[in-house]
Amino acid sequence: MKEKHALDNRMLNWLRKSMDLGCDMAEPVQQLRAQGFTDAAILAGIETVRPRGNLLAGGSPPPPLIRRQPANLRRIGVPDVELYTLEEFLNAKECDRLIALIGHHLSPSRLAAKADVAGDRTSQTAELCHLRSPTAVEIDAKICKTLGIRAAYSEGVQAQRYDVGQQFKPHFDFFEPDTEMYRRLAGLRGNRTWTFMVYLNDGMQGGATRFTEIDHAVEPRAGLALFWNNLKADGSPNRLTRHCGEPVTGGHKIIITKWFRIHGDGPAFHE
């Protein structure tokens, strides 16, 4: 195979999209190598498309939603953890539309780290970020505009369904610095900052989101958003954000989640 020494605009756009979605960057690198691109060409392409903005610039300011303090925003009163709920983020019609869409695109959930133990996460996942559905596009934009962080600093939206007995065992959403997983998943876009989760249904038994280090649980309720900062003000991981999705013991639970990153392009906030 003839060596290729530069990525064209089509390949650069594909590489940028992989980066924007929060993909494991080892995978596009392997695909480019398989197509005959040299390592120098791949590195040059990554340097061209990597984001250069910094969400933490200026002392890690809170997102505009927190600064606005709307009446339906509530901070969970735990020292050293930025943890909030937002009542009625979605109405019943919006929840139903998302549930219908998710139901057509579910597959067994995967974990980011190859070393994670089988059974840590036993849900089904729908990658809404890969769909062209107006419903998927609208919810992504609504989360960004509500929290006030631009999409360029985010990953795509995921959905999970948990049936009876399914759970997500205690874990962190940030990537552990100085690890192979960090290099693969956060080396270019930086660590996860905010997690924004929305419950789409209620009426199940079990399924609470429990923050294990502070012993606080949030019960699922349709339309309720739960969000938190995974990092401290200096950008280091906040280990008090360890959390789990407790086992569902009756019915089922459906959620959507969007994560934000340190690095993106352009201004960080919707002001």
pLDDT in tens, 103-120: 999 999 876 554 444 457
> Does 105 fall in a domain?
yes
What would the mean pLDDT of 41-50 be, rounded to a whole number? Answer: 95
User: Do 207 and 249 belong to one domain?
Assistant: yes
% of the chain with per-residue pLDDT over 70: 97
pLDDT averaged over the chain?
93
pLDDT digits (tens, 9 = 90+) for 201-223: 999 999 999 999 999 999 999 99
Residues 44 and 126 in one domain: no
Residues 138, 243, single domain; the answer is yes
Report the Cα–Cα distance between both ends of the chain, in Å, rounded: 50
How much is the average pLDDT of 21-50?
Answer: 93
Half-sphere exposure of 27 (CA within 13 A, CB side): 11
Q: What is the mean pLDDT of residues 158-166?
A: 97
Average confidence (pLDDT) over 44-69: 93
Residue 116: predicted pLDDT: 47
Token pair recorded at residue 264: 């993106």
Handedness of CA 211, 76, 219, 228 (dihedral sign): negative
Q: Please work out, in degrees rounded to the nearest 5, the angle formed at the alpha carbon of residue 168 by the alpha carbons of 101 and 264.
A: 65
Domain that holds residue 93: 55-264
How far apart (Å, rounded) are the C-alpha atoms in residues 124 and 150?
Answer: 28
CA distance linking residue 106 with residue 161, whole number of Å: 8
Q: Counting every residue, how long is the chain?
A: 271
82 and 188 part of one domain: yes
Provide mean pLDDT across the span 116-134.
82
Taking only the tens place, the pLDDT of each residue in 224-262 is: 999 999 999 999 999 999 999 999 999 999 999 999 999
* Residue 208 within any structural domain of the chain: yes
On the CB side of 187, CA atoms within 13 Å amount to: 13
Res. 83: pLDDT tops 80: yes
Q: Are residues 25 and 67 in the same domain?
A: no
Do 16 and 95 lie in a common domain? no
When pLDDT is averaged across residues 125-137 and rounded to a whole number, the result is 94
pTM: 0.93
pLDDT at 53 over 70: yes
The reply to whether 235 and 119 lie within a common domain is: yes
Q: What is the mean pLDDT of residues 263-269?
A: 95
Do the domain assignments include residue 247? yes
In this structure, is residue 3 part of a structural domain? no
Q: Judge whether 23 lies within some domain.
A: yes
Can you tell me whether residue 102 is helix, strand or coil? helix
> Does 270 map to a domain?
no
**Are 122 and 31 in the same domain?**
no
Q: How many CB atoms lie within 10 A of CB 8?
A: 9
Which CATH number belongs to the domain containing residue 147 in this structure?
A: 2.60.120.620
Q: Of 132 and 148, which is predicted with more confidence?
A: 148
Residue keyed to tokens 């756009």: 13
Instruction: State whether 93 and 196 are in the same domain.
Output: yes
In a domain, residue 35? The reply is yes
Compare 117 and 264 and report the one with higher pLDDT.
Answer: 264
- Shared domain for 41 and 141, answered yes or no, is no
Q: Say if residue 162's pLDDT is above 70.
A: yes
Q: Is residue 271 part of a domain?
A: no
Site of tokens 């997102």: 63
Question: What is the separation of C-alpha 111 from the centre of its chain, rounded to a whole number of angstroms?
Answer: 13
Percentage, residues of the chain above pLDDT 90: 85
Q: Tell whether 75 and 95 lie within a shared domain.
A: yes
Overall number of domains in the chain: 2
